[in-house]
Structure formats: C-alpha cells, structure tokens
Amino acid sequence: MRKTKNSVSYNKWGYIFLIPFMTAFIIFQFIPLLNTIYNSFFENYLVGLNQVGPTFIGLDNYKSLISNGDLLIYTRNTLILWVMCFVPQIILSLTLAAWFSDASLKLKGTRFFKTVIYLPNLIMASAFSMLFFTLFSERGPINSILIQLGILSKPFVFFSSTIATRTLIAFMNCMMWFGNTTILLMAGMMGIDGSLFEAAQVDGATSTQVFFKVTLPLLRPILLYVMITSLIGGLQLFDVPQILTNGTGDPMRNTMTLIMFLNNHLYSKNYGMAGALSVMLFIITCILSLIIFKASGHDKRK
Amino acid sequence: MENKKTKGMSVHARRTFSYIILVLVTILCLFWFYVLFINATRSNGELQSGFTFIPSTHLLENWKNLRAGTLPILSGLKNSLIISCSCVLFSVYFSTMTAYAIHAYDFKLKKFIYPFILAIMMIPTQVTALGFVKLVDAVSIFRDSPVPLIATTIAAPVTFFYMKQYMESTLPLSLIEAARIDGSNEFRTFNSIVLPLMKPAIAVQAIFTFVNNWNNYFVPALVLKSDDKQTLPILIARLRSADFLKFDMGQVYVMIAFSIFPVVIIYLFLSKYIVSGVALGAVKE
C-alpha cells in the first residue's frame, strides 16, 4: 500500500522531466509546422519591393504549384538522383556486409575497412560538394589527370552535361552513405542465427545460394528500414546539389531538387508557395513511408 | 577429398577477390581527401599547371592569404564551434532526461507520448523550415542569432531513442529504487547516478550531434544573415557563389580542408566508438 502511494508521488517526475523536450518541441517544431500549413493557404509574396498579401486564397497555392509543371520536374529529378544513388549503394553495402560477416572468409583488417568506409559519412556535405566542384571543374585536377593519361584530348565540361552532373551528385551521396548502410546491414546479418548458415552449407549450398536464400530473406526488416530512411533522406537532398550547382540546378534545371525549390521560395520570401510545397513534401514523406510499410506487410504472405 | 580441395580453393579465390574490391573501395574513399590535402599545400600557380601526387610547401601561405581575404574564416570557425558544442550539451543532456522520464516512471500519458516521439522522428526539419524562419523573424532575440538553432536540439527524437534503447539494457530500476531509499531526490538521482552510467551512450551521441551541427547548412543559412554570425558551411556556400575564377585556388582548397579535417581528426581518435555506436543504434526493431 505504502509502495503504490510512493510510486504515484514519484511518477509526477515523469512529467517534470518531459517539460524541456516538450517545450522545445512545441516552440521550435510544432508551432512552425502549424504555421507552415497556415501559410500555405495565403497569397503572400514579394514583387520587387512590394509585398502582396497575405490574403486568404484557400487551396490556390496548391493548384498553381501542381499546374505549373515545375513540381513534376523537380520531383522527377529528386527521384532519379535517389535511385542513381541507392541502387549502387545497396548492392555495394550488401556485398561488403556479407563479406564482413562471413565467418568462412576470415577477412583480416575488417575494423580498418569499416573505419574507412564510414569516414565519408561524417564529412560536411557542402564542403565535400565544393571539393568535387573544384576537382571536376574545367581546369581542375580530374581533367588534367585525364589529359595527362591521354584519355581526353581537351577538358570535358562535367557541369554542362546532365548525366555527368547527376552522376557526380549520386556518386557523392553514395560515397557518403554506403558505409553507414554497410554497418547497419552487418548488424542485421550478425543477428542471424549462425546454425542456419551451417545447415545450408551442410546441405551443399554455395555461398551465393546462402546469400540469396538465407541471408537476404532474413534481412528484410532491416533492408526495409534502410530503404525507408534512405528514401526520406533522398527527398531531403539539398546540400550537395545546391553547392555543386550554386543553387541553379544546372544544367537546364536537371539537378534541381525539391528542397532546392523550397529554398528558392524561402529566399524570395514567397511564403505562400513555400508553405504549399512544404505541406506537400510532408504528405509525400508520410505516404512513401506508409507504402513501403504496407508493401512489406504483403510480402509476408510468401 | 577432391571436392574438399576445390572448395578450399574457391574460398581462397573469394577471399582474394574480396580483398581486391575492399582495397579499391578504400582507395575510392581516401583518394578525395588525399587530393584535397595535396592541393591545399600547393600555390595557385602550381595548381594551374596540372596535377601531381606530391605535396608542395605553400600550406601556410595559402592559409595566410585566406585569412587576409574577405571571408570571415576565424569567426566562422568560432561560430561553428560554439553552436556545435552548445547543441551537444543541450541535446544530449535533455534527450537523456527525456529518455529517463519514459524509462523510469509510469504515468498516464506515457502510452501516448512514447509513440508520439517516435512518430515525429520521421518529420524532416526542412518541412517546418518556413514556420521556423517566421518564428525567428517574429521574436527579436532569435533574429540572426544562434539561440533558436541551439534550443531546437533540446527536442532531438533520434538522440532520445538511442538513449532509451541504451537505458533498457544498462539501467536497472532497482538502482533508482535504492537511491530513493538513501534519500536522494529524483533530480539528484538523475544527475549523479543516471548520467554517469550513461557515459558510453552520451559519448556516442555527443559525437553524432557535434558532427551533424558542424555540417548543418540548410536551416542555419536561413537564420544567420550577418557576416560575424555565419558558420563554416555558409561560408563555403559564399565561396562557391563568389566569382570562382578570380579566386586563388590554393585558398579554396585550404578553406575546404579547414572545414573537413577537424571532423576527420576527431574521427581518427574515436572511430572505434563511432563505428560500434552506429551498429548499436541499428539494432532497432
């Protein structure tokens, strides 16, 4: 009896300890979210130095955002960049993780390799992007190496080619994230019961068969997690293309991502459109995670 | 016997193959940093004349030129350090406190609050950026100031989640009970018993919080407008938008190196904890 009374009086401390988190969350995240949604229903922008609005216009911002066509282009760009980054990344990470956790391979120095492949994840994306911009510029070291090797006769202008620019962005992101993915997948593989591998080997399965028939199916939950976080991260792609193209999304706006679009609206103080775009991004993020969660639910029937 | 031999061979071949790929991947990861280091040591003239793999001697000269230039590099460093370190203090301390509230107490709203915090983990900060900028504009002490950037990190769901996971495996409730019997009040129990026990998790999250805020560009660029308030990523962006060819390339490389290498050095010392920390955070269901 005394104990229950005690624990009840202690439990009010649960609320007290939550106060800082909740206060910060409400002021700096929740109110801004509501404010963003609120702004999306108003006409509010600058023409030269003249402020237009704010006037309530209902869903007009959303309508003009969708009918304009830019949104579609930038969504496409963002998704293309994500796929170009994610596909090689997941293949490389699965391969490396399988090797690192394969006891029969007995690889030496795995800690060194893990340390090295995780390093790019901690690098300032904007500085890394600036580095690539200088290295791959017309008179930069990469062109001079390629010319010295005789591969090129004159400098190749990487940043006026859509494919080259997109590849560079995807490559940088892939480099920055494959180490993280490898370590996550490895943790998942280590969690698999070792006797399953032994049983498969006794049955005469090759290492490729073990990988596709045992490891991969058991990894599904963590693969799903990796894919969701990567997709949500991919939608937020900003620093690398912003710095690489100086915010222009060149060539021909082909590397302009959704967040760069949002950033442009925020800088030009076009708050109505920025609000509508933010809300749409918010909804897209929610829907995408739901789709993936659902899809994995269906797969369980197999 | 025959069979066994071919199988052994194939393991050997596979091992060699994996080493080759691993070495290639390692080179791919380190190549850029090596080139950055080399180029930071070369003068503009040397840089224009083509690339070599041998470092030169102009590192200090490039650094002096950069400092003499228009970019407020030292104040950028100072601002980046102040913001990142403050974020570490606030984020780690209050996330641990939040995790402790959920871990150690039974209260009515807990059933609601825990899943709620996990759900808001998914909200990208960019989505609320507009409201955040409006808030900063509306409150005079937030305008052009690092305060809102630091205060936001008090509510860090990802750090909270890590702390909560760690507490479940290392913090027995009986220990808190024992402290109560000894007459320690709840706040003191948290500060002098729980926090020390959380040291390994705190170290890992401190590093991640530091790195994230050191590298953060999108929101700080919207908030910090005046020269003497800006952080390194914003200066990098300014360097990019300045007329590029007029610039001394040696300075550009030193500036990039200056932004990247502090984190690399921290990482070299703490990589063991960081890599295992990533894996620890990954074992989530």
B244: confidence class by pLDDT, cuts 50, 70, 90: low
- B128: number of Cβ within 10 Å: 25
The pLDDT of residue B285 is 34
Would you say residue A69 has pLDDT above 80?
yes
Check if A271 contacts B (Cβ < 8 Å).
yes
> Does a structural domain hold residue A6?
no
Minimal-distance CA residue of chain A relative to B237 = A243
Looking at the fold, whether B21 and B159 belong to one and the same domain comes out as no
Task: For residue B65, tell me if it sits in a domain.
Answer: no
Q: Tell me whether residue A181 is in a domain.
A: yes
Kindly indicate the confidence band of residue A174, based on its pLDDT and cuts at 50, 70 and 90: very high
Per the domain annotation, does B258 fall within a domain? no
Work out whether the CA dihedral A140, A142, A147, A152 comes out positive or negative: negative
Contact B48, A139 (CB under 8 A): yes
Domain edge (last residue) among B218, B241, B264: B241
Q: Is the dihedral of CA A33, A38, A40, A42 positive or negative?
A: negative
Cβ neighbours of A259 in B, within 8 Å: 126, 218
| Domain annotation covers residue B232 | yes
| Structural domain containing residue B237 | 71-241
Q: Work out the average pLDDT over A279-294.
A: 78
Q: Å from A72 to nearest chain B CA?
A: 18
| Residue in chain B nearest A273 by alpha carbon | B130
- The pLDDT, as a whole number, for residue A1 is 41
- Round to the nearest angstrom and report the end-to-end CA distance of chain A: 52
The answer on pLDDT for A128 being more than 90 is: yes
Smallest Cβ–Cβ distance between A113 and the set B22, B117, B252 belongs to B22
The pLDDT, as a whole number, for residue B281 is: 59
Confidence of residue B92 (pLDDT cuts 50, 70, 90): very high
Among the ranges given (A84-98, A182-196, B125-139), the one the predictor scored with the smallest mean pLDDT: A182-196
Contact: A123, B278; criterion CB under 8 Å: no
**Greatest alpha-carbon span in chain A:** 88
Residue B99's pLDDT is what?
A: 94
Residue B137 CB contacts under 8 Å (≥ 6 apart), including other chains: B143
Tell me, what's the pLDDT at A193?
81
Write the single-letter amino acid at B95.
S
Q: Answer whether residue A154 is part of any domain.
A: yes
| pLDDT at residue number B65 | 86
pLDDT, residue A191, reads: 81
pLDDT, position A8: 57
Number of domains forming the structure of chain B:
2
**Residue carrying the six token digits 């030269």:** A48
Which of B209, B10, B3 has its CA nearest to residue B96? B209
Assess whether pLDDT exceeds 80 at residue A266.
Answer: yes
- Specify the CATH number for the domain of residue B104: 1.10.3720.10
Closest approach of A7 to chain B, Cα-based (Å): 8
A43 located within any domain: no
Structure confidence at residue A111 as a pLDDT band (50, 70, 90): confident
Residue pair A258/A78 in contact (Cβ under 8 Å)? The answer is yes
- Evaluate if residue B119 carries a pLDDT over 80: no
pLDDT value at position A294? 64
| C-alpha pair distances (Å), B35 with each of A127, B40, B113, B139, B251 | 14, 8, 49, 45, 14
Examine the domain organization and report whether B85 and B175 are in the same domain: yes
- Residue the block writes with tokens 């005079």: B140
| pLDDT for res A301 | 37
Euclidean distance between CA atoms A258 and A251, whole angstroms: 16
Task: Quote the CA–CA distance of B262 and B277 in Å, as a whole number.
Answer: 20
Q: Taking all residues of chain B, what is their mean pLDDT, rounded to a whole number?
A: 86
Q: Kindly determine whether residue B127 and residue A35, on different chains, have CB atoms separated by under 8 Å.
A: no
- How many CB contacts within 8 angstroms connect chain A with chain B? 274
Residue entry with tokens 């969708």: A66
Q: Quick check: B101 pLDDT over 50?
A: yes
User: Are residues A15 and B275, on separate chains, in Cβ contact within 8 Å?
Assistant: no
**Least Cα separation, residue B201 to chain A (angstroms):** 17
**Partner-chain contact B131 A10, CB within 8 Å:** no
Residue B275 lies in a domain: no
What pLDDT, on the 0 to 100 scale, is given for residue B4?
44
- Would the CB atoms of B217 and A239 count as touching at under 8 Å? yes
pLDDT-based confidence at residue B3 (cuts at 50, 70, 90)? very low
Write out chain B residues lying below 8 Å of A29, CB-based: 120, 123, 128, 152, 155
B97 versus A139: which is more confidently predicted? B97
% of chain B with per-residue pLDDT over 70: 93
Nearest CA in chain B to A136: B32
Name the residue of chain B whose CA is nearest to A268's CA.
B222
pLDDT for residue B131 is more than 90: yes
- Measure B157 CA to nearest chain A CA, in Å: 9
Is residue A238 less than 8 Å (CB to CB) from chain B? yes
A89 Cβ contact list (under 8 Å, min separation 6): A173, A174, A177, A178, A181, A230
Distance CA B255, CA B66 (A): 7
Residue B266 lies in a domain: no
Q: Do B134 and A39 touch (CB under 8 A)?
A: yes
Reported as a single tens digit per residue, the pLDDT across A10-63 is 888 889 999 999 999 999 999 999 999 999 998 877 777 777 777 788 788 898
Q: Does A209 touch chain B (CB under 8 A)?
A: no
| Nearest CB to A135 within list B35, B104, B272 | B35
Measure CA of the first residue to CA of the last residue in chain B; give whole Å: 44
Is A201 within the bounds of a domain?
A: yes
What integer best gives the mean pLDDT of chain A? 86
Within this chain, do residues B54 and B75 fall inside the same structural domain, yes or no? no
pLDDT of residue B283: 44
- Contact present, B63 and B256 (Cβ < 8 Å): no
Average of per-residue pLDDT across B112-125 = 83
- In A26-69, where does DSSP find H-type helix? 31-39, 60-68
- Ramachandran region of residue A4, left (φ > 0), alpha (ψ -120 to 50) or beta? alpha
* Residue A17, domain member (yes or no): no
A177 within domain boundaries: yes
Whether B25 and B116 share a structural domain:
no
> Are B15 and A106 in contact (CB < 8 Å)?
yes
Q: Which residue has the tokens 């007995």?
A: A106
Give the CATH number for residue A141.
1.10.3720.10
Query: CA angle at residue A264 from A267 to A139, to 5 degrees?
Result: 110
For residues A211 and A196, is the Cβ–Cβ distance under 8 A? no
Considering the domain boundaries, does residue B215 fall inside one? Answer: yes
Q: What is the pLDDT of residues B135-154, one digit of tens each?
A: 999 998 899 999 999 999 99
- In this structure, the number of other CB atoms found within 10 A of the CB of residue A118 comes to 20
Question: Residue A45: enclosing H or E segment and its boundaries?
Answer: strand A42-47
